[in-house]
Amino acid sequence: MKLDELKSQHPYVSFLFDLTGTLGYIASAGYAIPKLWLWFIVPITHLPAIGMVQALGLVIALSALNVRKIPALVEIREEIEAKKTETLIEHFARSHTHAIVYLMLLLAGWIYHYFL
């Protein structure tokens, strides 16, 4: 089903996907960054552990400094804009990409921390 058709029937679907994607991003970054910090930074530097608020501050600061765009995501966005329509799955995947990346980063850190 195309997103445009769904929007005409249910106007808040796009907003809800964007909202859940943003909340998922905040939750996954707020959970993953303190864990990774505790596993890798604290033992090496003896800095104190950080909480969710400090982790989100780090994410905001680093994303403000990193103004590069990921080429694959730019290509996907250009392709979607070229066809002017987006399926429901494409919109869900686009709005939840950052949250999924942080969860994959946490999984990779967990594997490294506990098995290597």
Distance CA 25, CA 29 (A): 6
pLDDT per position as a tens digit, 69-89? 666 666 766 776 666 666 777
pLDDT per position as a tens digit, 17-39? 888 888 888 899 999 999 999 99
* Residue 54 pLDDT greater than 80, yes or no: yes
Q: Tell me the whole-structure pTM to 2 decimals.
A: 0.70
Token reading at 37 = 């910090």
pLDDT number for residue 13: 76
Distance CA 80, CA 87 (A): 9
Distance CA 9, CA 107 (A): 38
Q: Which residue has the higher pLDDT, 75 or 106?
A: 106
DSSP letter assigned to residue 47: P
Residue type, 49: A
Q: Where are the domains of the chain?
A: 3-115
The answer to whether residues 95 and 17 touch, using CB atoms and an 8 Å cutoff, is yes
